[in-house]
Amino acid sequence: MTKTQSRTTTALLLLIPLMILTGCRNEVDDRVLDFAQSTVEQQSQQTQQLTEATQRLIEGDAKARAEVLALQQLLVEHDSDGRRELVALQASLDQQRAGLEQERRFLAAERVRAPLVAAALTDVALMLACALPLIVAICALRVASRESFDISSMNEFLVGELCEPSLGLLPAVGERPLLNQHSCSSTVSPPPSDF
């Protein structure tokens, strides 16, 4: 190789990168410029989309807040109505409970009173049953004193009534050992009078 050729080759070698750099720079600048413009356009579109999305989000949030406020107000109204109903229900239950308590007290007093009334009625009936023979005797004596009855005939009548087996007031003659073996149908002599 000659010196001129080597100089030419060296110059070419130096010029080639310089030409590449100059030629690439225009393409690189155009590419960079295109990329930057597309990036700016994309960012602008993204910003616009983000703005629109933010606007929709704000509108949706405002709408949701309005719905929440409306629901909350409705809930407060229903809650106050529900509370009124609950208070009315509680008052009704309190009245029913008071009525049941009054009825329970009445029944408890009735349970205490019923045996007392039954015992008093039994005692009165027993006293009347015990007093009945005395009343009959007093009535008989009054009748006897008004009319001149013979006491011996009255005694005979009373003893005959007492000895009547169908009444069962006295045991039969053979059942009592203390009685004499006389029958009740025989004439009974009047008891000796001590008067």
pLDDT of residue 195: 45
pLDDT of residue 124: 93
Which one, of 142, 145, 184, lies nearest residue 164 by Cα?
184
- Output the pLDDT for position 123: 93
pLDDT of residue 181: 46
Q: For the chain, what percentages of helix, strand and coil (3-state, to nearest 5) are there?
A: 80, 0, 20
Coil, strand or helix at 181: coil
In DSSP notation, 113-174 reads HHHHHHHHHHHHHHHHHHHHHHHHHHHHHHHHHHTT--HHHHHHHHHHHHT-TTTTSS--GG
Tell me the mean pLDDT per 10 residues along the chain, length 195.
68 68 58 79 86 90 89 80 81 89 90 88 92 85 69 74 64 51 50 52
- Predicted local confidence at residue 27, as pLDDT: 55
Q: Which residues 6+ apart lie within 8 Å of 162 measured at CB?
A: 169, 170, 184
Distance of CA 3 to the CA centre of its chain: 120
**How much is the pLDDT for 17?**
67
Q: Which pair of structure tokens corresponds to residue 36?
A: 């930057």
Q: Report the 10 Å Cβ neighbour count for 8.
A: 13
